[in-house]
A and B are shown apart, each in its own frame.
Chain A
Amino acid sequence: MPQQAAEAAASFPEIDAYIDGLPDINGALIPVLHRAQEEYGYLSREVQLHIARRLQIPASKVFGVATFYSLFTLEKKGKFRINVCLGTACFVRGSEAILRQFETDLGIKARETTEDFLFPLDSIRCVGACGLAPVVMVNDRVYGRVKPEDVKGIVEEHLKRGGE
Chain B
Amino acid sequence: MSDNYGQVRIALRNCGVIDPEKIGDYIAQGGYDALAKAIFEMTPAEIIDTVKKSGLRGRGGAGFPTGLKWELSGKSEGDEKYVMCNADEGDPGAFMDRSILEGDPHSVLEAMVICGRAIGARQGIIYIRAEYPLAVKRLQKAIGEAEELGLLGDDILGSGFDFGIRLYLGAGAFVCGEETSLMNSVQGGRGEPRIKPPFPAQAGLWKKPTNINNVETYANVCRIILNGWEWFRQFGTEKSPGTKVFALAGKVNNVGLVEVPMGMPLRHIIEVIGGGIQNGRKLKAVQTGGPSGGCIPEEHMDTPVDYESLVALGSIMGSGGMIVLDEDDCMVNIAQFYLKFTAEESCGKCTPCRIGNRRLLEILEKITTGGGAEKDMIDLDELGNIVRDCSLCGLGQSSPNPVLSTLKYFRDEYLVHVNDKRCPSKRCTALLRYFIMPEKCIGCTVCARNCPVSCISGERKKTHVIDQARCIKCNTCYEKCPVNAITKE
Which residues in B have their C-beta under 8 angstroms from that of A143? none
| Number of chain A residues close to chain B: CB under 8 A | 38
* In the complex with contacts A30-B188, A125-B341, A92-B251 CB distance below 8 A: yes
The reply to whether B190 and A128 contact each other, CB–CB distance below 8 Å, is no
Contact between A92 and B325 (Cβ–Cβ < 8 Å)?
yes
Contact digits for B145-176, partner A, Cβ 8 Å, 1 yes 0 no: 00000000000000000000000111111000
Cβ–Cβ < 8 Å partners of A33 in chain B: 171
A70: Cβ under 8 A from any B Cβ: yes
When distances are taken between beta carbons in the complex, the residues of chain A under 8 Å from B321 are 88
Complex CA distance for A130 and B186, rounded to whole angstroms: 28
A-B contact pairs, 18 of them (CB 8 A): A26-B187, A29-B189, A68-B173, A71-B130, A88-B91, A89-B247, A89-B323, A92-B251, A92-B329, A125-B92, A126-B95, A128-B95, A128-B131, A130-B94, A130-B249, A130-B255, A131-B255, A131-B256
Q: Does A28 contact B (CB under 8 A)?
A: yes
- Say yes or no: is A84 at the interface (Cβ < 8 Å to chain B): no
Question: Does B5 reach chain A (CB closer than 8 Å)?
Answer: no
The chain B residue sitting closest to A140, CB to CB, is B133
The reply to whether B325 and A69 contact each other, CB–CB distance below 8 Å, is: no
Chain A residues near B (Cβ < 8 Å): 26-31, 33-34, 61, 64-65, 68-72, 86-93, 97, 100, 104, 124-131, 133, 140, 148
Q: Smallest CB–CB gap between B129 and chain A, Å?
A: 9
Partner of A93, one of B188, B250, B479: B250
**Nearest 8 pairs between A and B by C-beta?**
A88-B93, A69-B171, A89-B249, A71-B172, A87-B92, A125-B92, A70-B172, A29-B188
**Chain A contacts for B249, CB-based, 8 A:** 88-89, 92, 130-131, 133
Give the distance in Å from the alpha carbon of A88 to the alpha carbon of B187 in the complex: 31
Do the beta carbons of B92 and A30 come within 8 Å of each other?
A: no
Q: Which chain A residues border B170 with CB–CB below 8 Å?
A: 69
**How far is A3 from B287 in the complex, measured between Cα atoms in Å?**
53
Chain B 64-98 near chain A by CB (<8 Å), digits 1 or 0: 00000000000000000000000001011111001
**Bound Cα distance from A147 to B190, whole angstroms:** 38
B54 contacts partner chain A, Cβ-Cβ < 8 Å: no
Shortest CB-to-CB span from A25 to chain B, Å, is: 9
Docked-complex contact A69 and B92, CB < 8 angstroms: no
Min CB–CB distance A105 → chain B (angstroms): 12
C-alpha spacing A140/B323, complex, angstroms: 26
Q: Which residues of B contact A (CB under 8 A)?
A: 89, 91-95, 98, 130-133, 168-173, 185-191, 247, 249-251, 255-256, 287, 290, 321, 323, 325, 329, 334, 337-338, 341, 347, 452, 474-475, 479
Considering the complex, give the chain B residue whose CB is closest to the CB of A55. Answer: B188
Contacts of A97 in B (CB 8 A): 475
Q: Assess the B191–A130 pair: CB atoms within 8 A.
A: no
Chain B neighbourhood of A69, CB < 8 A: 170-173, 191
- Complex partner residue of A27 from B95, B132, B171, B187, CB under 8 angstroms: B187
Residue of B nearest to A137 (CB): B131
| B residues less than 8 Å from A34 (CB atoms) | 130, 169, 171
Q: Which A residues are in CB contact (< 8 Å) with B325?
A: 92
- CB–CB A26/B255 < 8 A: no
- Which residues on B sit within 8 Å (CB–CB) of A27? 186-188
A135–B185 CA distance with the chains assembled, in angstroms: 29
Question: Which residues on the A side are within 8 Å of B338 (C-beta)?
Answer: 88
Q: How far, in Å, is B202 (CB) from chain A's closest CB? A: 20
CB pair B323 A28 closer than 8 Å: no
Contact A68:B191 (CB < 8 A) given known A33-B171, A88-B249, A89-B93: yes
Query: Whole-angstrom distance from the CB of A3 to the nearest CB of chain B?
Result: 27
Judge whether A88 and B98 touch: CB under 8 Å. Answer: no
| A contact residues around B337 at 8 Å (CB) | 88, 91
**Cα-based distance from A68 to B191 in the complex (angstroms):** 8
Contacts of A125 in B (CB 8 A): 92, 341
Name which residue of chain A comes closest to B479, CB basis.
A148
A residues within 8 A CB of B189?
Answer: 29, 61, 65
When C-beta atoms are compared, the residue in chain A nearest to B255 turns out to be A131
Partner of B93, one of A28, A65, A130: A130
Across the interface, B323 reaches (CB within 8 A) one of A92, A100, A148, namely A92
